[in-house]
């Protein structure tokens, strides 16, 4: 059977991987605030992860990408409890919430993805910092605003506000 995980955090690790075997992470985002299984608030970095757990999760994401010769921008998602973390999925694309990661790292993920597709190297061509030199500055938060009809069970809606 499947393990029941109570009140986990939804943590995503942003990765960049090129066609030359280089893979790096751009730290994590916390996407735990959700409604109807849709992310509502995303922020980076997570305020609940210990430095040790952050390192473990980020390294797991990089190792996963390396093990399948992945190249592109991507997101590796995990559920995280106080005691452990569990792999959920990989999104092989740029996600809506990528901007909070760009803000704390200064790395342009979209531009990096385009250059990776052109066969360029993360370090020599894109001139990204080596993993151990990459730093995170400050905190970034993003909130999604959606239109819903409160008189129709809060179904998605369009029209004038």
- Domain containing 67 equals 9-156
Instruction: Evaluate whether residue 3 is within a structural domain.
Output: no
Instruction: Evaluate whether residue 111 is within a structural domain.
Output: yes
Instruction: Evaluate whether residue 1 is within a structural domain.
Output: no
* Residue 50 burial (10 A CB sphere; 0-12, 13-18, 19+): exposed
Give catalytic residue positions: 39
Instruction: Evaluate whether residue 29 is within a structural domain.
Output: yes
Residues 6+ apart with CB under 8 A from 11: 28, 29, 30, 31, 32, 46, 49, 57, 77, 78, 79, 80, 85
pLDDT along the chain (161 residues), means of 10: 90 98 98 90 96 97 98 98 96 94 98 98 97 97 91 87 70
Instruction: Evaluate whether residue 82 is within a structural domain.
Output: yes
- Write the CATH number for 68: 3.30.470.20
pLDDT at 120: 98
Instruction: Evaluate whether residue 128 is within a structural domain.
Output: yes
pLDDT at 37: 83
pLDDT at 146: 86
Instruction: Evaluate whether residue 2 is within a structural domain.
Output: no
pLDDT at 30: 97
Q: What are phi and psi of 65, to 5 degrees?
A: -60, -45
Instruction: Evaluate whether residue 144 is within a structural domain.
Output: yes
In the predicted model, what is the mean pLDDT of the chain?
Answer: 95
Number of domains the chain is built from:
1
pLDDT at 67: 98
């Amino acid at each position: 059977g499947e393990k029941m995980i109570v009140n986990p955090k939804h943590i995503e690790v942003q990765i960049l991987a090129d066609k030359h075997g280089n893979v790096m992470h751009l730290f994590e985002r916390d996407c735990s605030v959700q409604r109807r299984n849709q992310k509502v608030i995303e922020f980076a970095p997570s305020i609940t992860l210990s430095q040790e757990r952050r390192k473990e999760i980020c390294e797991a994401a990089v190792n996963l990408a390396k093990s399948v010769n992945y190249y592109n921008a991507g997101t590796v998602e995990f559920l995280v409890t106080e005691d452990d973390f569990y792999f959920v999925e990989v999104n092989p694309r740029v996600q809506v919430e990528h901007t909070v990661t760009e803000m704390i790292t200064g790395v342009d993920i979209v531009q990096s993805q385009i250059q990776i597709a052109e066969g360029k190297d993360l370090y020599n061509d894109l001139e990204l910092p080596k993993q151990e030199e990459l730093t995170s500055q400050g905190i970034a938060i993003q909130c999604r605003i959606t239109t819903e009809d409160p008189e129709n069970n809060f179904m998605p809606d369009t029209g004038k506000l």
